[in-house]
Structure 1
Amino acid sequence: MMKTRITTSEEARRHLEDAYSRVMSVATLQRHIDTAGRSELVEVVPYLTTLCDGLAASVIGEEKKISLKYAFDSAMIPPTEAVSIGLIVTETVINAVKYAFPQNRPDAEILVRYETSGADWRLTVSDNGVGKQKENGVAPPAEGLGSTLVKALTQQIKAQIETTSSPKGLTVAISHTTFSPRLA
């Protein structure tokens, strides 16, 4: 952050701020998992609540008028899955803050949900921003680092990703379904 304050390049400043946000999120994740490390599983509600509160403070801050809301079903997950889910939340929230609201608006909102049904779960990060915008009728450029990381992390935990965009916002949904063999 000291380098961010003294750099004169706006682009370099943005890159340093992004790196700082990612490092702080990973540190928060690691602290929480270390604390929970006494058990074999991580409690989803306190874990994601701590992460989202940290993201709201470090990524959104005071200057942006974006509300970060969340709702989580109670569940216990393995630490490796918790790390991947935490990083997915971090990256999708960072992307929403960076791209969903090009202009300040009073109703700007990002919603993070974790829902369970038996052993299956669904993580959704949505915003009520502008969606993926076309510039001069052309689709947005190839995926950035955040989107690439989300896809890789989703594959790592054997989940599926679905992205839905409209002028009313963007939703990234990560679903993990436990398949059970059918008896013929």
Structure 2
Amino acid sequence: MTRIGDFDLCERLSPAIPVWVTQVGVALLTVLGAKIVRLVFDIVAGGAAPFALIYPAIMLATLFARAFAGTLTATIMIVYIWYFIYPVERSFRFATSANAFAVAIVIVTAIMTIAIAELFRRTARRATQARDREIADRDLFLAEFDHRMKNNFAIVAGLLDLQKRRASDPATVQALETAQMRVDSIARAHRHLYRGTGQPGTVEISAYLSDLCAALAESLFLQGGITLSCDSDQAAVPRDRAVSIGLVVNELVTNAAKHAFPGRDLGTITVTLRNKAEGGWRVTVADDGVGMPKGAALPGKTSGLGSRLVEAFARQAGGTLSTESDESGTRVVMKLES
């Protein structure tokens, strides 16, 4: 019903076109449309039910251009039919008292139809205005929530950075850097969630992964011959799954940057996300490094914090992991069902 409130032509065209001009125009167009339909009906059943099209015509005119347009439509159609068709052609005379009673009934029912249509139009308009107010209030709330969340992420990232600067143990510094990148990954997913694009509660994964890879390349100091590329299909992914996907990519790219290219100045890390034909997505993080040493923990095995985190994030996303590694590089695939 609220959609009817969006079709007030008088309001849409004003002030470029005066309201009364819009109402007269709608009335005339409605009468013309009814006349065309009447001609088609007359081919099948000539002269039957001459007043039948009055009610849908005045209903449409009233809903789209208010009561005056409906009244004008009813007046034109009733006078035209009364004079040219019913009951005596080209005359306002009545052949019998029953004819006069029939025209009176048409007039009364036309007035009732206009009143009902106008009441419905106003109710729909009020519902539309209430909906618009609710949307405005929701947008204001989301903007405030977004602002507060950004501040919270910034505070957490700042505290981690402060601790990292004060730490002297290399292992502690590295752990704090890793934690900082994980917080940044979640923060970026949040920013993409509240950009107002895509379906509510979802993240456009292509833009999110591109943004995340650019930040990882900068934070991991990937430059020169070591490059990170990202290629993703367009997909609206639910917020929680998008965060988990980002965390998996964060861990795998970080591991590849640190361990895949020892003593090498050239290398490529590739992140891809593809829509599966049967539904869901396939996320791949691959490198052309030296491969994983024999006996090393693969994602999905319960050995090593990084591997356990990748496994936990993948499970949280509802995905399954598979890993291939040899002297030509490592390829980790996470398959997610829709």
TM class by shorter-chain length?
Answer: 0.7 to 0.9
What is the rounded CA distance, in whole Å, between the counterparts of 2:232 and 2:223 in structure 1? Answer: 27
Aligned to 1:41: 202
What is the rounded CA distance, in whole Å, between the counterparts of 2:170 and 2:188 in structure 1? Answer: 27
Say yes or no: does 1:69 pair with 2:226.
no
What is the rounded CA distance, in whole Å, between the counterparts of 1:104 and 1:36 in structure 2? Answer: 43
SS of the equivalent of 2:261 reads coil
Of the candidates 106, 116, 125, which is equivalent to residue 285 of structure 2? Answer: 125
Any conservation in 1 of the 2:274–2:281 contact (CA below 8 Å)? Answer: yes
Matches within 5 A, 1:97-176: 97-106=257-266, 108-118=267-277, 119-134=279-294, 139-140=295-296, 143-176=303-336
What is the rounded CA distance, in whole Å, between the counterparts of 1:145 and 1:10 in structure 2? Answer: 17
Call closer, same or farther: CA 1:63–1:48 in 2, change over 3 Å.
Answer: closer
Equivalent pairs: percent with the same residue?
A: 36
What is the rounded CA distance, in whole Å, between the counterparts of 1:64 and 1:11 in structure 2? Answer: 26
Q: Which protein, 1 or 2, shows the higher relative CO under an 8 Å CA cutoff with sep ≥ 6? A: 1
Any conservation in 1 of the 2:193–2:201 contact (CA below 8 Å)? Answer: no
Any conservation in 2 of the 1:93–1:125 contact (CA below 8 Å)? Answer: yes
Say yes or no: does 1:51 pair with 2:212.
yes
Q: Cα deviations across residues 6-53 of structure 1 (Å, max 9, x unaligned)?
A: 433222222222222222222222222233587232212111111111
Of the structure 1 ranges 38-47 and 76-85, higher mean CA displacement relative to structure 2 is found in: 38-47
- Count of equivalent residues: 172
Of the structure 1 ranges 122-131 and 10-19, higher mean CA displacement relative to structure 2 is found in: 10-19
Call closer, same or farther: CA 1:164–1:11 in 2, change over 3 Å.
Answer: same
Q: Cα deviations across residues 142-174 of structure 1 (Å, max 9, x unaligned)?
A: 632222121112222322110111111111100
Between Structure 1 and Structure 2, the one with more strand by share is 1
The runs of 5 or more residues in structure 1 that have no matched partner are: 179-184
The runs of 5 or more residues in structure 2 that have no matched partner are: 1-160
**TM-score, normalised to structure 1's length?**
0.82
Amino acid at match of 1:84: S
Q: Which has the larger radius of gyration?
A: 2
Any conservation in 1 of the 2:260–2:329 contact (CA below 8 Å)? Answer: yes
1:98 deviates by: 1.6
Amino acid at match of 1:40: G
Call closer, same or farther: CA 1:63–1:78 in 2, change over 3 Å.
Answer: closer
**TM-score, normalised to structure 2's length?**
0.47
Any conservation in 1 of the 2:201–2:239 contact (CA below 8 Å)? Answer: yes
1:62 deviates by: 5.6
What is the rounded CA distance, in whole Å, between the counterparts of 1:32 and 1:65 in structure 2? Answer: 30
